[in-house]
Amino acid sequence: MRTFFTTLTVAAILSASLLAADFKLLNVSYDPTRELYEQFNAAFAKHYKAATGDNVTVNQSHGGSGGQANAVIEGLEADVVTLALAYDIESIAEKSKILPTEWQKRLPNNSTPYTSTVVFLVRKGNPKNIKTWNDLVKPGVSIIAAHPKTSGVARWSYLAGWGAVLKQELGDLKKLNDPQYDKEVAAAQKKARDYTLKVYKQVKVLDSGARGSTQSFVQRGQGDVLLNWENEAYLAVREYGADKYEIVVPPISILAEPPVALIDKVVDKKKTRAVAEAYLKYLYSPEGQEIAARNFYRPRDAKILEKYKNNFAKVELFTIDDVFGGWQKAQKEHFSDGGVFDQINTR
């Protein structure tokens, strides 16, 4: 009898390990998604096991978005990338040709399963009374932000302020693409540039990344206001206390879309295409969306957004495509060497 059970057990173990495949995925991501993907990976592994019987282990790599993209270009074998801005994935497609250039059309919503935006974190009671983008340039306000040349969120913040001024000047952002308003648009662009110049004059610390600037604001006590990701601001309040900080959501901001993509060359080589595709699709599932919402990323799914609506203040959002003509153009005009960011800092 005992022999029978032993044989049965051994057979069960053997057959399980023979039939169930073991997959290993590498997700190369940016800095603030650490907590999000820790939870999501566990949920996905469970879901995939239940659906197919196969085991999946997802390894994570985090760092500044641009640096991570660089690593993938240099040969880091990522099955999927989940980065802070489309420009970084576009660069991977363009430089190393390991995924098609139309990657962003392969998944719904511009391949961004969750979105975020740029908000202000201020000290409790909002002593400098900062509520709008214009309040940032009031005399005596000291700003903490990340460096637009090295950080993804820093670029989103810069563009958010710029777009907010355009909106205020023009009333309707559609005028940007209407030739009959050319003069008005040019004047508004000039205002936005002057505004941005003032903002960076009042920046006290430009940290190299999103987490670093949170640290400067929270732990080093620098500055009156921090410009950062909405999710990063919530995390700071949760970690360091709602009695010390509060989040101010400006009336208008940018729709930050951190996209995800499959790296075709890698998944074909590692034979992980099916599981990697399932992984990215699962981000759009109710459970994936719920995990994103719990980590303060705005879910795309309307029902789940409704459920978590207390976490996400109403804010008018504009997209980078509408206002800046996409990442390639924005990057070239504003952040490349000799671009507007360099020009306004010139002495």
Does residue 96 belong to the site contacting another protein (CB under 8 A)?
A: no
- Which is nearer to another protein, 272 or 331 (by Cβ)? 331
Indicate the residue among 108 and 241 with the shorter CB distance to another protein. Answer: 241
66 touches another protein (CB under 8 A)? yes
In this chain, which of 2, 183, 314, 347 binds another protein, going by CB under 8 A?
347
**Residue 301 engages another protein in binding (rule: CB under 8 A):** no
Please identify, using beta-carbon distances, which residue of 85 and 255 lies nearer to another protein.
Answer: 85
Distance of CA 190 to the CA centre of its chain: 28
CB of 340 to another protein, least distance (A): 13
In the complex with another protein, the residue whose CB is nearer, 76 or 203, is 203
Q: Is 91 in the site for another protein (CB under 8 A)?
A: yes
Q: Cβ of residue 69: shortest distance to another protein, in angstroms?
A: 8
Q: Considering beta carbons, is residue 41 or 331 the nearer one to another protein?
A: 331
Environment class of residue 39 by beta-carbon count within 10 Å: exposed (0-12), middle (13-18) or buried (19+)? Answer: middle
Of the residues 24, 46, 49, 95, which one makes contact with another protein according to CB under 8 A: 95
Binders in 201-220 for another protein, by CB under 8 A: 203-208, 212, 215-216, 219-220
Which amino acid appears at position 74 of this protein? E
Classify strands 55-61 and 114-115 as parallel, antiparallel or unpaired: unpaired
# chain residues binding another protein, by CB under 8 A: 31
Measured from the Cβ of residue 4, the count of other Cβ atoms closer than 10 Å reads 8
Question: Which stretch in 2-10, 19-27, 29-37, 197-205 sits in contact with another protein by CB under 8 A?
Answer: 197-205
Q: What whole-number distance in Å separates Cα of residue 8 and Cα of residue 106?
A: 46
Q: What phi and psi, each to the nearest 5 degrees, are found at residue 83?
A: -110, 175
Q: Does the footprint of another protein cover residue 149 (CB under 8 A)?
A: yes
Six-digit token pair at 267? 């998944």
State the pairing for strand pair 118-123/225-229.
antiparallel
CB closer to another protein, 64 vs 288: 64
Nearest to 225 by CA among 197, 257, 248: 248
Rule CB under 8 A: is residue 105 a binding residue for another protein? no
Shortest separation between residue 331's beta carbon and another protein, angstroms:
8
Minimum CB separation from another protein for residue 149, in Å?
Answer: 4
- Taking CB under 8 A as the rule, does residue 159 contact another protein? no
Q: Is 342 left (phi over 0), alpha (psi -120 to 50) or beta?
A: alpha
Measured from the CB of residue 237, what is the shortest distance to another protein in angstroms? Answer: 19
Cα–Cα separations (whole angstroms), residue 190 to 135, 169, 317, 334, 336: 19, 10, 22, 14, 19
Number of alpha carbons in the 13 Å side-chain half-sphere of residue 99: 27
22-29 and 143-146 beta bridge pairing: unpaired
What gap in Å lies between CA 155 and CA 307, rounded to an integer? Answer: 30
Q: What residues line the site for another protein (CB under 8 A)?
A: 64, 66-67, 70, 73, 91, 95, 147, 149-150, 203-208, 212, 215-216, 219-222, 331, 335-337, 342, 345-347
